Amino acid sequence: MNDTLVETTYREALRAAIRQAMLEDERVYLMGEDVGDYGGCFAVSLGLLEEFGPERIRDTPLSESAFVGAGIGSAIGGMRPIVEIMTVNFSLLALDQIMNTAASLLHMSGGQFNVPLVIRMTTGGGRQLAAQHSHSLEGWYAHIPGLRILAPATLEDARGMLLTALKDPDPVLIFEHGSLYNMKGVLAADAGAVDIDRAVVRREGTDVTLITYGGTLGTTLEAADLLAADGISAEVIDLRTLRPLDDETFIGSVRRTHRAVVVDEGWRSGSLSAEISARIMEQALYDLDAPVERVCSAEVPLPYPKHLEDAALPQSATIAEAARRTMSPEQG
Amino acid sequence: MNEHSAGTSSPDQATAPDTEHRRELLRTMVLIRRFEETCAELYSAARIRGFVHLCVGEEAVAAGVMAALGPDDAVLSTYREHGHALARGLTLNSLMAEMFGKQTGCSGGRGGSMHLFDKSHRFVGGNAIVAAGLPLAVGLALADKLQNRDRVTVCFFGEGAAAEGEFHEALNLAALWRLPVLFCCENNLYAMGTSIAKEHAASDLALRAESYGLSAWPVDGMDVLAVERSAVRAVEAIRGGGGPHFLELRTFRFRAHSMYDPDRYREKVEIEQWKERDPIDALVKTMKAAGQIDDAGLAAMRSEVADAVAAAVDTAEQAPFEPVENLTRFVTSEAGTGEDRP
């Protein structure tokens, strides 16, 4: 590996990945609302139209269902589309195509038609965008067999997950948390494809396992700092891939620490956090020293004012508090 | 009914009648009819299950459009697609086995009546979500355009689909990008039990398609020769760079929407009037007048087709079911299958 490091942002890492994929494979093209002339709603594709032209950086009308369906069709027809849906809430307008077609086609055709499609979309709250632009629905999509669900939370994953996703013969959805685009850091100059199968330990610890992904990774790492100040050693797991879940990594961690807190920006009821908690019960119940804790979003459509939105979303203090409860469950 | 036949159907004077070709069209329609009647019997006897939507009365649309296509063209269909699949050339055995949910079915038995697929014929379903095939057709055509392939993608749907948002989105996209798609709207006047008058304020669907920038016209969908002529004309125009085309094929289903449907929403007299325009009888009449078939020839054809369908039923019943151990196969691709495309 090249030791040279370059300064970059999450947004630039995504753009570099798209650019590399398009240079390496002429079947790859980017399609979505405002990906071309505008440069992408979040400026991810800025400059790519000039480099690759309008056939491959393809602006679409406001027709989510049609352009996602067209992405599926073109994937069947031999292309490798990257379809950008501006934000997760608009993906609901294409939910039929994502679920009834992309996720189902291979199985209902008896293995004849696979769909090598990548869909990218922005997800999550925390930017005072109110109820219709703040959803975290990646856990919902993770319910659907036939889809692979990715949540890049780091520069390395923003740079590398797309490249691997494009090699997948089946549909992959990538959820980019809106709070991450401006995240700055350094990345190896030769950073490239990364695995899209495994969760990773982002911080090692011995007392409690904090399990999270995507936009709440940073918040959870902050919580680990708060806990360290109290003498509690928290291990932080970044799930990375929400479907299929890498049970081995988070179950292994829980077996070592005997305590778990699941942090999930989705609503609690029927959530990904519920699934992870259930898997811990199924596979590691007798290793636990305390009930599994969950920190999720309050079950309200997200409000606009900052103080209410903050109260609704997982915060480092509430995560640390949940972790402390697992350290002394009898006081809970 | 008069408007449906106006200006679209007349004996073809431009080319000499081709006996062999017309016999093929006739046999395709007779085969579809027999297949559908057999499905109705099998369903009534509880030998096949699921939702089963028959296309009796609409055979000319399937036979006529498919006659205009080449093997590299792609076809997308609906849940009423037995006729399209047969006319496209999917084997009788693979289709009948799919009705029985057998491993030898065209979709390995996993799809059933509504999800017939066959990669080797570029038959991309069998789609039970109304209008969902239209965006897929746009995408298949986009892939052809981006890869400079001379192919046409044909997409069938009913007039009910014209009320769905995807209809508008997909027509706009296809026209905007001038993609090689032939949209075939089978206007059978009823979206399940809702008549077109109760469903569309503006019921001239060809005109509607035209407003999106497509070349579009109505066709007498009960006249297989008229359907074929229009499809050939449209496909040639598309291959010549003329952009997407839209045919409003005016037809009628003689049977109910599905095997569950008591058909309370149509007058018997309306059904009987349409049956007088039976597409099989119409072609037989034309061919008899041209000396291209006689009663004995027709009887022989019907008998041969009936035997073939009966044999397919026997074969399907004896075919194996997929082992239960295979239940979770094909949720995701298996190693080595990813690069293989139609």
Stretch B312-335: mean pLDDT, rounded? 95
Mean pLDDT of B185-191: 95
Residue of A nearest to B111 (CA): A108
The phi and psi torsions of A266 (rounded to 5 degrees) equal -70, 165
A169/B333 CB distance under 8 A: yes
Read off the tokens for B331.
Answer: 């949720």
A112 → closest Cβ in B117, B146, B165: B117
- Interchain CB contact of B136 with A (< 8 Å): yes
According to the model, what pLDDT value does residue B9 have?
A: 41
- To the nearest whole number, what is the mean pLDDT of chain A? 96
**Which DSSP letter does residue A289 get?**
S
* Poorest-pLDDT segment among A7-11, A131-135, A181-185: A131-135
Question: Which site among A26, A80, A114, A148 would you substitute to test the B interface, given the most B Cβ atoms closer than 10 Å to its Cβ?
Answer: A114
Contact call for B331 and A69, based on CB within 8 A: no
Any alpha helices (H) in chain A, and if so which ranges? Answer: 10-24, 48-52, 64-76, 88-91, 95-96, 105-108, 138-141, 155-165, 217-229, 247-257, 272-284, 306-312, 316-327
Chain A with chain B: Cβ pairs closer than 8 A: 163
B192's torsion region: left (phi>0), alpha (psi -120 to 50) or beta? left
* Amino acid in the structure at residue B4: H
**Residue A170 Cα distances to A75, A114, A118, A148, B74, angstroms:** 10, 6, 8, 8, 21
Query: Which residue out of A12, A133, A138, A176 is catalytically annotated?
Result: A133
pTM above 0.90, yes or no: yes
* Partner residue opposite B143 with nearest CB, options A73, A109, A110: A73
Which member of B125, B127, B139 has the closest CB to residue A74?
B139
Measured in angstroms, the CA of A157 and the nearest CA of chain B are apart by: 23
| pLDDT tens track for A206-231 | 999 999 999 999 999 999 999 999 99
Suggest the residue from B73, B114, B136 to mutate for an interface test with chain A (most A CBs closer than 10 A): B136
Give the pLDDT mean for A187-194.
95
Tokens, residue A3: 């030791």
State how far the Cα of A87 lies from the Cα of B296, in Å rounded to an integer: 66
Inspect the interface and report whether the beta carbons of B127 and A101 lie closer than 8 Å: yes
B111 alpha-carbon distance from chain centroid: 17
B190/A contact by beta carbon, under 8 A:
no
pLDDT at residue B218 tops 50: yes
From chain B, pick out residues whose CB is under 8 angstroms from the CB of A29: 146
- pLDDT at A328 exceeding the cut of 90: no
Read off the pLDDT band of B14 (50, 70, 90). Answer: very low
Instruction: Tell me the pairing of strands B153-158 and B181-187.
Output: parallel
Give the 3-state DSSP-derived string for A227-273, with helices as H, strands as E and coil as C. HHHCCCCEEEEECCEEECCCHHHHHHHHHHHCCEEEEEEEECCCCHH
Q: Which chain B residues are Cβ-neighbours of A27 within 8 angstroms?
A: 147
Residue A64 is a catalytic residue: yes
Cβ pair A68, A75 in contact under 8 A = no
**Is A282 in the active site?**
no
A29 in B contact zone (CB under 8 Å): yes
Q: Averaged over B177-190, what is the pLDDT?
A: 97
CA distances for B115 relative to A93, B51, B63, angstroms: 23, 11, 19
For residue range B112-150, list pLDDT tens digits in order: 999 999 999 999 999 999 999 999 999 999 999 999 999
pLDDT digits (tens, 9 = 90+) for B255-306: 998 888 889 999 999 999 999 999 999 999 999 999 999 999 999 999 999 9
pLDDT at position B340 is 40
| CA dist., res. B70 & res. B83, Å (int) | 17
The pLDDT of residue B336:
61
Percent of chain A with pLDDT over 70: 98
Q: pLDDT tens digits for A24-44?
A: 999 999 999 999 999 999 999
